[in-house]
Structure 1
């Protein structure tokens, strides 16, 4: 298992066609890669959460385009794609008293690894739990 703390940006958007395309085009034009993406819908508004290759440039580009940006540190895990991996992480966080506020992820095309993003209530305790889980 690998883990790291990464910077996630969240942007509120209208829940209408083309809004994600606009954000993706803005990032492409700035040469910013979107490493992780989560889109949440609501009746009137959506939220795009993304982990960009360059958080500072991403924030600046979004703000220049008049988007309101919220930043947060998130825990990114690379897990082997085997039964029980997610359970052991969640159990370790629970045992450490760390709440998982939300999570999203995907599996690689080879079906060997999963990349999961966790927003947690206490990053220091989460990192401690992950380091203990490795041992």
Structure 2
């Protein structure tokens, strides 16, 4: 399914991530998935949250730079080769994968993918 992801751009400084989580907590917004990519000077926090519009609004009010992006969420068996089959399908269909993150629980893996063509990806993936 296509879902909305919130990206927050952070200075790589002590307490910046905690500030984001505090703002979300104070506004009763739950984080269901996240990923952080960093460089020496800044980081990109990518999150799936319970109320994306409210999260974007309250973070902007607190001077954070945010962006809402369409990503896809898929479920796959948590067995060897599952990820390879997904990537093989995307490559074979000419769909570029920009980044992904995920987790597994109870024999199932859930993956969040940023791809060049979300609709086509959902058609070809299991």
Asked whether the two chains share a fold, i.e. TM above 0.5, the reply is yes
Structure 1 stretches of at least 4 aligned residues deviating more than 6 Å after TM superposition:
none
TM-score normalized with structure 1 length? 0.87
Task: Give CA deviations for 1:44-97 in whole Å, capped at 9, x if unaligned.
Answer: 111111111111111111111111111110011122211111111111111111
Secondary structure of the corresponding residue to residue 49 of structure 1: strand
Give 1:84-95 correspondences, 5 Å limit. 84-95=81-92
Partner of 1:104: 101
Answering whether residue 7 of structure 2 is matched by residue 10 of structure 1, we say yes
Answering whether residue 118 of structure 2 is matched by residue 113 of structure 1, we say no
Consecutive unaligned residues in structure 2, runs of 5 or more: none
Partner of 2:42: 45
Distance 1:72 1:80 in 2: 26
TM-score normalized with structure 2 length? 0.93
Partner of 2:33: 36
Task: Give CA deviations for 1:90-118 in whole Å, capped at 9, x if unaligned.
Answer: 1111111100011111222x4x2222111
Answering whether residue 10 of structure 2 is matched by residue 25 of structure 1, we say no
Distance 2:123 2:57 in 1: 32
Aligned length: 126
Answering whether residue 118 of structure 2 is matched by residue 123 of structure 1, we say yes
Distance 2:76 2:13 in 1: 34
Partner of 1:54: 51
